[in-house]
Amino acid sequence: MLSIERNLRSLGTVATPSKRPRSLAFYGKGGVGKSTVVSNLTATLAARGRRILQVGCDPKRDSSRNLIARFPPTTLMDLLGAGKSNLQPSDIVMDGGANVECIEVGGPKPGVGCAGRGLGRLFEELETMEIFDRGYDYVFYDVLGDVVCGGFAVPMRDGYAEEVYVVTSGEFMSLYAANNIARGIANYADQGDIRMGGLIANCKDLAFDKDLIERFADRIGTHVVAWLQWDKVVYEAERRRMPVVRYQPDHPFVATWHAVADALEQQARPHVPKPMDDVQLDVFLDELFGYGDAGRRG
């Protein structure tokens, strides 16, 4: 594991390789707009000259949809399922536009097998190929939904992602998932270098959600890194399979993506969160949404 390797380097027992890229994992409830956030952030940073590898960790293989020239992509699990061995970077690394390369893990057909297993195999292949030594500034892991499976926790559990950012809205289930993800980070923090970077708020109604998300962030010992409110141009760009900065580079909403990029580049404050247990979370969300005992069904 990378965390063990780092400890060995500090003791002088192994050679120090070339500088590895800054590695960030993005988690969040399914449907919260995680892949939209990641692909737009990737394209925005690439426009600044940063080199980025975006790794889609969802069996739907749609993380790179707005970046690569052709869809559907070739995935690692497709190749392994076809019996291909001795994989080379050219087999799985796809051109995502200037300064961007993409990998999609893929997974089994719906209802068949365990998608989380593919992530463990992915990192074996990436290490063998020395992917992390290709001069990237960032590696972004776009990870499926909530942490309900050890397979999808691999980026944080095995030290490949040093910072976890949770994309959330102010909706009940989105905050519920964010707390679970924070619990996963706290569980693995003692074993390695994994830390929480903070929340990225992706809202339909920022005026309504802002107070809810800020109170939630304070309760679990984290902070909001960036605020996003849905804009029609994002929808228009996605219909054309493009990030906003490529679709309309002069659109005012591009400045919003640059603000998110600034927050990640300049204001990183990795920390160990203090998530709530199930009982605490239930009480807190009841209070947050103004339900109380009178609002419960019974």
DSSP 164-192: EEEEE-SSHHHHHHHHHHHHHHHHHHTTS
How high does pLDDT run on average in the chain?
A: 86
In CATH, the number for domain 19-295 is 3.40.50.300
Q: Across 28-162, where does the E strand assignment appear?
A: 52-57, 94-95, 100-104, 138-143
**Cβ-count burial of 249 within 10 angstroms (0-12 exposed, 13-18 middle, 19+ buried)?**
exposed
Give CA angle at 24 (19, 25), nearest 5°. Answer: 140
Helix (H) or strand (E) holding 227: strand 224-229
CA distance linking residue 124 with residue 86, whole number of Å? 12
Catalytic residues: 29, 34, 60, 146
CA distance linking residue 133 with residue 151, whole number of Å? 24
- Residue 298: its pLDDT value, please? 46
Tokens standing for residue 260? 């998110």
Read off the pLDDT band of 10 (50, 70, 90). very low
- Residue 123: its pLDDT value, please? 87
- How much is the average pLDDT of 235-256? 97
Domain spans, the chain: 19-295
- How much is the average pLDDT of 127-131? 92
- Stated pTM of the model: 0.88
Coil/strand/helix, residue 38: helix
- How much is the average pLDDT of 28-37? 93
**Residue range 255-284, pLDDT digits in tens:** 999 999 999 998 678 899 999 999 999 999
- Which segment, 115-124, 158-167, 221-230, is predicted with the most confidence on average? 221-230
Q: Does residue 296 register a pLDDT over 60?
A: no
Read off the pLDDT band of 297 (50, 70, 90). very low
Q: Contacts from 188-191 at CB under 8 Å and sequence distance 24+? A: 188/153, 188/156, 188/157, 189/272, 191/3, 191/157
Helix (H) or strand (E) holding 128: helix 117-129
- How much is the average pLDDT of 10-27? 67
- Residue 159: its pLDDT value, please? 76
**Residue range 166-220, pLDDT digits in tens:** 999 999 999 999 999 999 899 888 877 889 999 999 998 998 999 999 999 999 9
Helix (H) or strand (E) holding 24: strand 22-27
